Structure 1
Amino acid sequence: MTAVSDRTEDRWDDGLIARRAAARGEFGKPADEDDGLDDAYEPIGGPYAAPLRARLEALRELVGLSRTRLDGATLAEAGRVLDEAAARQRLSSRHTVVAIAGPTGCGKSALFNALAQANISETGLRRPTTSAPVACAWSDGAAGLLDRLSVPMRLRRKPLQCPEPEEALKGLVLIDLPDLDSAVIAHREQADRVLALVDAVIWVVDPEKYADVVLHERYLRPLAGHAEVTFVVLNQVDRLPGEATDQVLDDLRRLLDEDGMALGEFEEPGATVLGLSALTGEGVWELRELLGRLVAERGAAARRLAADVDAAAARLRPVYVAEGRPELDDRARQEFTEQLGEAVGASAAGQAAEREWRRHANKACGTPWLRLFRWYQRNVRPGGDIRPARPQAPVEAEITARQRVEQAVRTLADEASAGLPAPWALAVREAAARGAEGLPEALDQLAVSVGVPRGRSPRPAWWPVAVLVQVSMTLLQFFGGLWLVGQIVGVLKPGLLVPALVMAVGVAGGPLVEWSCAAAARGPARRYGREAERRLREAAEGCGRAMVLDPVAAELLRYREVREQYVAVTSVTGLSTTGG
């Protein structure tokens, strides 16, 4: 007992409030050192209820999937909500932490003392009066919660014990906060820190400051989604004459409605608005009954956390909800591959393959005299090679091909990222740009390896027959010519008609066979050219798919995954996710 007494004495030796209250004997009972933790502590334990648990899991998955695409500042609020959810889950579920907040001089500390029925928090004309959070716990086991709020041990108290009426408030932890508009920055920072951690808030205003712009714009409007764990009380109604109280309360409700805060009228969920006087006690017992009901439900912590998830989801909406349904459709893929095919010269390669096939056909099925003429032009006649070497692409052509590839990639990236939120649109464009870095070079290699086929082209089944017929026509020419020569020199019996006819058939038949083969070769040559074009286009398509299409599709898939998680986070809220 001596050690405990020493610690208790040390705890209350510093602090103006403690010294004055100890001198007057007006404080409620001091909180015990161990706060009855072993007997009364009951953590929430296990997961939250199913809907909230599913939303938290979706939010955690959402943050994990987005870390490589979004900056830390964007995900900071969502991470804070997850951390606070885990921290609150480990603490007592039998206690509900309610903060009393408001501007200077509105009577927060007076209301705090009226609810506790003890002069725990100092009141007075000096401003600011409350410099640190003051706590009053109606039951044991709240030490962990107060440690989380960083409430000093010397400012943790209990109310005066009135067993029957106070039984309804068992589990309530009431926090008196420093002024929200305090001239001391540290006081405002303390108030803001605690407001982010408590389960519910009582906003105290007076007839003079109920419309304060700072209060509404900095606190009430941003926390409009927390209406179910919010009380807004108009204090000092004893100063208002006649029906002025109702008029001020109506105007206060109007302002709250403009802030977007739902009002819990007609037994609907929302903020509770009431007038009271901490000085005379008018309306205080009504507020105590409402607090008792809130504590008995043991649901304020979960509702506050659900509202925090709503707020975090609303902040993240611009980076997850798209204007349309971004996807890489078949049309965009086809246009991209067609542009790559043009850039790699697939049409030109097909035409070259067709000409090469027809050239081989003409060479195989042509007359010997035409072959001899062509050989003469290639080998004997200077500069007479009618078959130029394979031309090299000029610099201008290479630049044009590269520009076509870059334009195709830009067009694809723009279509794929159209309507995406800015971070994901940027990720899609970056994926396309990374793939496009080596794409022109890869297409150039394809043009060399898959372009015009090397070696002999395939021959149709009629080709040997055509060659045999052409050889026969040539033999007829020789036979007829020899026959005529033999008759002229007198070796053979004269008769010019038959050898002339034989020779004429050979002479006329050779070009006729050549022309027939050229006509018959058009179809196979065209198919051969188309096949070469198809192979080159497919090779270009495969290269473009591996280097650009697949990375872009992967980014779009990642976005769809995070969007599904975002929808799961907002699935039971009033947030609309249409359009994405």
Structure 2
Amino acid sequence: MTTSAIPASSLGTPVYPPPAPPEPTPLPERLDGLDRLVQAGTGRLDQPLLDDAGALLDRAGQRLRLSGDHTVVTLAGGTGSGKSSLFNAICGLELSPTGIRRPMTSQAHACVWGLDGAGPLLDWLDVDKRHRYARASALDLERPDTSLQGLVLLDLPDHDSIQALHRAEVDRFVTIADLLVWVVDPQKYADAALHRNYIVPFARHAGVTLIVLNQVDRLGPDEIDDCVADLRRLLEAEGLAHPRIVTTSAVSDEGVTGFRDILVDTVAARRARGERLSADIDKVAERFAVHRYTADPPTTVEDDRRQDLVQALTDAAGATAVADAMESAYELRAADFVGWPVTALITRLRSDPLRRMRLTELREELRDAFTGPIGAQQGDVDNALHTVTAGVAAELPPPWARSVRAAARTHAVEIPEALGESLKDALPSFNQVPRWWWLIKTWQYFLILVAVLSVAWIGLLVAYGLLDAGQNPPDLVGEAGLIPYVAVLAVCTLGMGLLTASACRNLVALSSAKHGDKMEEHMREGIERVADEKVITPITAELERYARYREDVTKALGD
């Protein structure tokens, strides 16, 4: 029996393959995320950003509805770069004019391989029907292993043309092509206009950008390598990561083979459309990401800040002063019931108009004061709103900080009147009198009655017992010796009334304090409802929008 050696790598801990990379976010989901970003950013972010994102959404929606079997490839370049000759070489026919006079191409020319579904696409590209050409795959018989079926090749005007319409035509096609092909020549590959206006702004589109160094037949082998190396260095310095560069020569039969192979692979993969739109979304989504902090945002106003807001609004509404005034009115009204009637009679004889006004009009005056805006406190309300948003806004990007402050002030003008209504609703009714007040009042009048009867009894004792006003009076009115005892009864009755009034004043003071605290608590509850409805809820809603905005940025970036 033979045995085979077991590799050392198979012993011990098993080796697992690395985890597969996460699936990229589908393009429709990224577009949905971008659409939500535009909606969330309306009124908060810069309008140019929203306009660019909206234009991209329109363009992407239209492109996705059109043929996915066709790949739009643009040949763009400067004057004399030979892009029209290159276009004709790929097409196999002289379709685009070439010559010494510049510019030769004044409108975009299109050559299409495969007509099914190409018509609406060319209409959307707005290619003049006089400059549309169709080629059959039979042109590729010499290369049976490849095919250009599905290619829409566009020859554009010169990007450096002296005609503004030509430059506008180039700018339009550059924003909608699936694959951008920039044709340069050995003499002007470093042209500042090309790099400044197109290479740098579209540096993130490296995956759908191809640089064609044409007319290399004018260079020696070593010069071609040097030229390609210098061009690559220049492109990388301008942010075009891993630039794809291919050399061509339209004067040679084999001079466009490499370029043609790239077109064949691109058309066969049918990924250029999605990659181009993804690159466009990346570019716009990164501008939205600038307004997103990495730290988790607050989700609502913290309790401490909320309580500070309620206290500030309480002070602005003067709730404490109202509670004190109503507490004082409570004591005055209680005095009518539990006070000593003799003292009350003396007070009335002195005619205190202030007291009568407070008893009869204080509550109505307070209620009337709260039926309209409390204009004098608007400044205090504004300060309270600024304070509550200062801490929250500090944790947000500037646009969202502004939107939170604006949300807090959404109902700023309504808050004073709402505070007044909440105070008015908290004011108690004076029609409700505690039962013990009535008992004390009955007791006090009973004492008054006893005191009056005692005084009358003393009068009868004086009249009949001392002055002999009548014959044979009853002992209760004729015995003068009862006068001191009846006088003591009257004095004790009066003293008992005063003591009762004094004791009740203490009870009323305690009761009024509890009454004031309870009313102030009710007013604070009303003010808390106003704060929640008019301030906290709008701020929380804005913070929730920002949280969704952060999620949509992640979705749009495809992370």
TM-score, normalised to structure 2, is: 0.78
Task: Tell me the distance in 1 between the aligned counterparts of 2:258 and 2:126.
Answer: 30
Which letter maps to 1:139? G
How much does 1:76 deviate? 2.8
In the alignment, structure 1 residue 163 sits paired with structure 2 residue 141: yes
Task: Tell me the distance in 1 between the aligned counterparts of 2:55 and 2:558.
Answer: 20
Task: Tell me the distance in 1 between the aligned counterparts of 2:374 and 2:128.
Answer: 75
Partners of 2:404 and 2:542 within 8 A in 1:
yes
Going from structure 1 to structure 2, the CA distance change for 1:294 and 1:386 (only over 3 Å counts) comes to same
How much does 1:373 deviate? 1.8
Task: Tell me the distance in 2 between the aligned counterparts of 1:237 and 1:419.
Answer: 57
In the alignment, structure 1 residue 309 sits paired with structure 2 residue 285: no
Task: Look up the match of 1:233.
Answer: 212
How much does 1:97 deviate? 1.6
Going from structure 1 to structure 2, the CA distance change for 1:456 and 1:94 (only over 3 Å counts) comes to closer
Going from structure 1 to structure 2, the CA distance change for 1:464 and 1:164 (only over 3 Å counts) comes to same
How much does 1:229 deviate? 1.3
Task: Look up the match of 1:215.
Answer: 194
In the alignment, structure 1 residue 539 sits paired with structure 2 residue 526: yes
Which letter maps to 1:290? I
Identify which range, 141-150 or 318-327, moves more after superposition.
318-327
Partners of 2:157 and 2:167 within 8 A in 1:
yes
How much does 1:301 deviate? 0.8
Task: Tell me the distance in 1 between the aligned counterparts of 2:68 and 2:422.
Answer: 68
Task: Tell me the distance in 1 between the aligned counterparts of 2:479 and 2:460.
Answer: 5
Partners of 1:346 and 1:534 within 8 A in 2:
no
Going from structure 1 to structure 2, the CA distance change for 1:458 and 1:272 (only over 3 Å counts) comes to farther
In the alignment, structure 1 residue 54 sits paired with structure 2 residue 29: yes
Root-mean-square deviation (CA, aligned residues, Å) is 3.7
In the alignment, structure 1 residue 405 sits paired with structure 2 residue 384: no
Task: Tell me the distance in 2 between the aligned counterparts of 1:406 and 1:90.
Answer: 51
Task: Tell me the distance in 2 between the aligned counterparts of 1:95 and 1:451.
Answer: 73
Partners of 1:130 and 1:177 within 8 A in 2:
yes
Q: State the Cα deviation string for residues 270-298 of structure 1 (Å, max 9, x = none).
A: x4223444445676322322222211111
Partners of 1:483 and 1:492 within 8 A in 2:
no
Task: Look up the match of 2:19.
Answer: none
Which letter maps to 1:284? V
The within-5 A match list for 1:267-286 is: 271-280=243-252, 284-286=256-258
Q: State the Cα deviation string for residues 111-138 of structure 1 (Å, max 9, x = none).
A: 3233334443333332222222222333
The within-5 A match list for 1:163-202 is: 163-165=141-143, 167-202=146-181
Task: Tell me the distance in 2 between the aligned counterparts of 1:178 and 1:385.
Answer: 94
Task: Tell me the distance in 1 between the aligned counterparts of 2:230 and 2:343.
Answer: 106
Please, which of 325, 333, 351 is the counterpart of residue 360 of structure 1?
333
In the alignment, structure 1 residue 375 sits paired with structure 2 residue 348: yes
Partners of 1:59 and 1:565 within 8 A in 2:
yes
Which letter maps to 2:345? L
Which letter maps to 2:122? L
Task: Tell me the distance in 2 between the aligned counterparts of 1:281 and 1:475.
Answer: 135
How much does 1:347 deviate? 0.7
Task: Look up the match of 2:70.
Answer: 95
Task: Look up the match of 2:473.
Answer: none
Task: Look up the match of 1:107.
Answer: 82
SS where residue 207 of structure 1 aligns? coil
Going from structure 1 to structure 2, the CA distance change for 1:513 and 1:123 (only over 3 Å counts) comes to same
What is the aligned length? 509
Task: Look up the match of 2:556.
Answer: 569
Partners of 1:332 and 1:412 within 8 A in 2:
yes
Please, which of 430, 444, 451 is the counterpart of residue 455 of structure 1?
430
Task: Tell me the distance in 1 between the aligned counterparts of 2:77 and 2:556.
Answer: 32
SS where residue 161 of structure 1 aligns? helix
In the alignment, structure 1 residue 289 sits paired with structure 2 residue 289: no
Partners of 2:34 and 2:552 within 8 A in 1:
yes
Task: Tell me the distance in 1 between the aligned counterparts of 2:376 and 2:61.
Answer: 59
Which letter maps to 2:103? P
The within-5 A match list for 1:449-488 is: 449-450=424-425, 452-459=427-434, 463=437, 466-467=440-441, 470=444, 474=448, 477=451
Task: Tell me the distance in 2 between the aligned counterparts of 1:403 and 1:296.
Answer: 69
Which letter maps to 1:531? K
SS where residue 147 of structure 2 aligns? helix
How much does 1:191 deviate? 1.3
Going from structure 1 to structure 2, the CA distance change for 1:313 and 1:509 (only over 3 Å counts) comes to same
Task: Tell me the distance in 2 between the aligned counterparts of 1:468 and 1:154.
Answer: 112
SS where residue 175 of structure 1 aligns? strand
Task: Tell me the distance in 1 between the aligned counterparts of 2:293 and 2:250.
Answer: 47
Partners of 2:87 and 2:96 within 8 A in 1:
yes
In the alignment, structure 1 residue 136 sits paired with structure 2 residue 136: no
Going from structure 1 to structure 2, the CA distance change for 1:143 and 1:282 (only over 3 Å counts) comes to same
Which letter maps to 1:174? L
Going from structure 1 to structure 2, the CA distance change for 1:412 and 1:154 (only over 3 Å counts) comes to same
Please, which of 516, 523, 528 is the counterpart of residue 529 of structure 1?
516
Partners of 1:326 and 1:417 within 8 A in 2:
no
Gaps in structure 2 of 5+ consecutive residues:
1-23, 467-477
How much does 1:434 deviate? 5.2
Task: Look up the match of 2:4.
Answer: none
SS where residue 152 of structure 2 aligns? strand
Partners of 2:454 and 2:489 within 8 A in 1:
yes
SS where residue 273 of structure 1 aligns? strand
SS where residue 166 of structure 2 aligns? helix
Partners of 1:367 and 1:474 within 8 A in 2:
no
How much does 1:451 deviate? 5.7
Partners of 1:69 and 1:424 within 8 A in 2:
yes
Task: Tell me the distance in 1 between the aligned counterparts of 2:378 and 2:284.
Answer: 45
In the alignment, structure 1 residue 506 sits paired with structure 2 residue 507: no
SS where residue 169 of structure 1 aligns? coil
Task: Tell me the distance in 1 between the aligned counterparts of 2:347 and 2:265.
Answer: 107
SS where residue 137 of structure 1 aligns? strand
Partners of 2:374 and 2:420 within 8 A in 1:
no
TM-score, normalised to structure 1, is: 0.75
Task: Tell me the distance in 2 between the aligned counterparts of 1:399 and 1:194.
Answer: 60
Task: Tell me the distance in 1 between the aligned counterparts of 2:225 and 2:315.
Answer: 78
Identical positions, percent: 36
Task: Tell me the distance in 1 between the aligned counterparts of 2:223 and 2:453.
Answer: 133
How much does 1:307 deviate? 1.5
